[in-house]
Amino acid sequence: MKKLLIIASMLVTTLSTQANTIKIGVAAEPYPPFSTKSANGTWTGFEIDLIHNVCDKAQLTCEIKDIAWDGLIPSLQSKKIDVIFTSMTVTEARAKKVLFTSPYYNTLPAIVGLEGQTFALTKTALKGKIIGVQNSTIAAFYIKEKAGKFTSIRYYDTQDAVNADLLAGRIDFMIADDIPATEFYNKNKAGLVYYGAVTYEPSLGKGIAAAVRLSDTALASQLSSAIDTLVPSKEYEALSMKYFGTNIAP
């Protein structure tokens, strides 16, 4: 009888753990300093550390799964993952497909380009120029809307590929979230110019947040509560200072 009780207790514990295990989807493409997968399969970066902290606060057992950026929302909807936690901007269009948590940082798109040029969202300034951007990002939607009718925009699967083509001189400018754009520029200043972040407008969204399925309201609340606790904390500030040298809290 005692053995049966022990087995039953172990079974309940196992089922409870499984019930609280959630699959966190992050973009497979490297996105330093937010998330990068090493050759041995280890994930590092600001968002990776934050994921672990959020899961600890929410008392959830989490498993990180890498998914191609374009496949994140389809993977969430098909239940291959339970949460998207990978620098996704909150927009009205996406909010029709996913349920966002509280935001955990803010950023705007910024421009980095070859030196000796002038950047402006005008036909005159961008005539004959090529702008590189990662596909399906807020930066991509923005630059297509603002300049797609009068300049050439080249779309890439990864930000690394955008950066490589800019360094090789195959494109004139690149647009990406300000934080990784600034880090890229600071490491590759020779021959490049940081042209600054664009002016905010509503189409650029309402910060960066995690996302769950529309029906998973309880999970969204659980994650938001953990995020709301962490963002104003010394723990978040220390993590932010470690990776960016400043606090990027929204």
CATH number at residue 49: 3.40.190.10
CB 120 within 8 A of CB 127: no
The secondary element (H helix, E strand) that includes residue 167 is: helix 159-167
CA-angle at 106, arms to 226 and 154, nearest 5°: 125
Residue 192 lies in a domain: yes
DSSP H or E segment with residue 66: strand 61-67
Burial of 165 (0-12, 13-18, 19+ CB in 10 A): middle
Q: Which of 20, 24, 21, 22 is nearest to 67 (CA)?
A: 24
At 49, the amino acid letter reads D
Q: Please report whether residue 68 resides in a domain.
A: yes
Residue 195 and residue 237 in one domain = no
Domain count, the chain: 2
Both tokens of 155, joined, read 């779309």
Cβ neighbour number for residue 58 with a 10 Å cutoff: 20
**Residue recorded with tokens 């120029």:** 129
Confidence at residue 30, expressed as pLDDT on a 0 to 100 scale: 87
pLDDT in tens, 174-233: 999 998 999 899 999 999 999 999 999 988 888 999 999 999 999 999 999 999 999 999
Q: Which domain holds residue 141?
A: 109-203
**Residues 132, 171 contacting (CB under 8 angstroms):** yes
Q: Do 13 and 75 belong to one domain?
A: yes
> 147 and 78 in one domain?
no
Which residues, 6 or more positions from 3, have their beta carbon under 8 angstroms from its beta carbon?
none
Pair (196, 226) in one structural domain:
no
Are 44 and 164 part of one and the same domain? no
pLDDT band at 134 (very low <50, low <70, confident <90, very high): very high
The pLDDT tens digits for 13-66 are 333 334 568 999 999 988 889 999 988 989 999 999 999 999 999 999 999 999
pLDDT value of residue 20: 63
Comparing CA positions, the residue from 61, 78, 62 lying closest to residue 26 is 62
Residue 249 resides in a domain: no
Neighbours of 53 (CB within 10 A): 18
Return the bridge partners of 110, or none: 176, 197
Say if CB 24 and CB 64 are below 8 A apart.
yes
